[in-house]
Amino acid sequence: MLFLSVYSTPKKNKKSIYKLIKLNAMRKSWLIVSFLFLGLIGYAQVNTLEINAEGSTQQISKNIYGQFAEHLGRCIYDGIWVGKDSKIPNINGYRKDLLEALQALHVPVLRWPGGCFADTYHWKNGVGPVADRPKIKNVFWGGTVENNEFGTHEFLNLCEMLGCDAYISANVGSGTVGEMVDWIEYMTSDDDVPMANWRRQNGREEPWTNVKFLGIGNESWGCGGDMTPEFYADKLRQFSVYAKMYGGTKFQRVGCGSNGPDYNWTSVLMEKGRGSMDALSLHYYTIATGKWEDKRSATGFGEDLYFGGLKQALKMDEIVTKSSQIMDEKDPQKRIGLFVDEWGIWTDVEPGTEPGHLFQQNTMRDALIASETMDIFNHHSDRVKMANIAQMVNVLQAMILTRGDKMVLTPTYHVFKMYAVHQDANLLKDKLTCEKYKFGEEEIPAISSSSSIDKNGKIHISLSNVNPNKEIQLAVKLNGKNIKKVNSATVLTAPAINSFNSFDKPNVIAPAEFKNYKKAGDNSLTVTLPAKSIVVLEVE
């Protein structure tokens, strides 16, 4: 319209119209440049992590990085224990390679003997001469016959070898208060009483000092007795009073908590049982489809189930947050810890294996699920005081897989080793602003992070880029502290989202030195995170 009006305008006015056209063009160009500039600035600021590097007092308990070993499938036998006469190299019956791998992991606490198995386990069957120990049937997991070769002595001695604390699950579902009291005395008493004397007779003179946690039942809402929360609260009070009477302050009593988002269970236990426990447990498993009956393959998946697994894992934050809020109402001083003593991804078993043995592979997706989840626990460390991944060897999201004399370290093992730097360090409050990872109509944050400062003043920053399709540049700023140098940086990534370490190719996914960062000022770093990767930086 403006162009046409030039030719229909008297000559004396055409000059002013040309000036107007030129001015409009300049204004449009400036607007375009401005929008592009602001867009670039906005993009640069999308991914930022601001860390408050001073004044931290909230400790991340080392027990958040705990493990779980149940008499299930090949977790104990062929996994941890091969027997003293095995051709597989062992130390008094324990796999030598596995012991060395677990020692390098700095395992802080180990939960045993279950799981569902705990509420059918009668501990007296697992002590004394091995030849005299009766066999039992594992009714929960594949109907396997359990020979009780691995019992109380074998477990507590293992904890001593690993330098970790023991978390014992007492049998409430099919056991008695008297049975539990006898077990407490057997493990922890130095008195001249029958159970302590029986322990001495069985070769252990001094009591074990590493029994620090006693679970009062397991999944009492399900396989541990199918109880209502009100009924279990009464059981908790009954068992706990005798546990304290005979155990004193040697250990913390752990009440059986909810199945994921069962907030009514949590509310009833905090109302009726809070005086009878020192901690309350919580179980939540990640199912990539979100449907318990539809778990799918551990390795044969595409981006839909990759995204689904990560999204479902993030629900842990909502469950922990809401559970903590309920606990805060009755326990504002946070005396009672929240123990997430079973967590991890649950998939279909590997083809050709016993369904009841829960042997599954472990991929890069699972490593990212682990890093996301541990970031959540770190941020909630004011209430979350323990977590135990399910499980340590050959079961579900395992640290280690074994087959004969071969052993594989899984991607999840490597994440636990990388994150060990947070154990007993102080959480650094932070603010993460990041882009989204979108799949279809859904989206989740593309980055997960947590930061801490250890007793030596070293700052550790854990970062995960869950987007499998692009690298992401992140601006990291320490408020209140200048960065002298980056002492070390490690990255874990993989060729594909469903890559895994096999017995034939055990190092497809392994930590490597990370170099894709640079200082961006006295207190800032620019970090370029590879697609589907986990990075841990040590800064001072």
Phi, psi of 171 (to 5 degrees): -85, 105
Q: Are strands 211-216 and 252-259 parallel, antiparallel or unpaired?
A: parallel
What amino acid occupies position 186? Y
| Distant-in-sequence, close-in-space partners of 47: CB < 8 Å, separation ≥ 6 | 433, 434, 435, 446, 447, 472, 473, 474, 475
Kindly report the length of the chain.
540
What amino acid occupies position 273? G
DSSP 360: -
Q: Which helix (H) or strand (E) holds 423?
A: none
Q: Which helix (H) or strand (E) holds 237?
A: helix 229-247
Residue from 342, 442, 513, 538 carrying the catalytic annotation: 342
Residue 36's SS3 state is helix
Residue 219 known to be catalytic: yes
| Distant-in-sequence, close-in-space partners of 422: CB < 8 Å, separation ≥ 6 | 60, 64, 65, 374, 378, 450, 452, 460, 462
- Count Cβ atoms within 10 A of the Cβ of residue 375 and give its class: 0-12 exposed, 13-18 middle, 19 or more buried: buried
Residue from 70, 146, 154, 219 carrying the catalytic annotation: 219
Phi, psi of 82 (to 5 degrees): -115, -10
Tell me the C-alpha distance between 429 and 478, whole Å: 11
- Catalogue the active-site residues: 219, 342
